[in-house]
Amino acid sequence: MSQLSSIPAEQPFCQVEYDAHNKWLRATWRGFINPQHALQSIVSSLGVLSNPVVTLFLNDNSQVLNPWFDSLTWLRYAWDSTHTTPPACVAHVMQPGGNANVSDLDTSWTRSIGTELQLFESVDDAEDWLRGCHQ
């Protein structure tokens, strides 16, 4: 994996990196995420997110400790902020136990911009689905 950008080590709540082998961008969220952390992550990641060649995105919440954190809101704001074409496919890995809150996710914006979004409970399943998006 070749890392393009990450949050400073003293604030390890989100790491954004480009996976050159699989040709997708991955955001990995860790720990307790509050709105300030999410905003700092957006600002720190804008350079990577504005890369126009990114067509696949893996948004991994599997290591989030909050009772609820909607990183899809972060993702929507991040792409709106970069003024670039959003990815064609987004695999969103729910945080553990998050499947009870699927109805709370605002996924309508992905359909309106032509992005296919799938929700997953495991990173492996999300990665398998993204590999299929290449075809």
Give the number of other CB atoms < 10 A from CB of residue 75: 23
Considering the domain 2-133 in this protein, what is its CATH number?
3.30.750.24
- pLDDT above 80: residue 118: yes
Please tell me the pTM assigned to this model.
0.79
Q: Give the per-residue pLDDT at 58.
A: 93
- pLDDT above 70: residue 76: yes
Give the number of other CB atoms < 10 A from CB of residue 57: 25
Domain boundaries along the sequence of the chain: 2-133
**Tens-place pLDDT, residues 21-75:** 888 889 898 888 877 777 777 666 666 666 666 789 899 989 988 776 677 777 7
- pLDDT above 70: residue 135: no
Cα distance between residue 131 and residue 25, in whole Å = 12
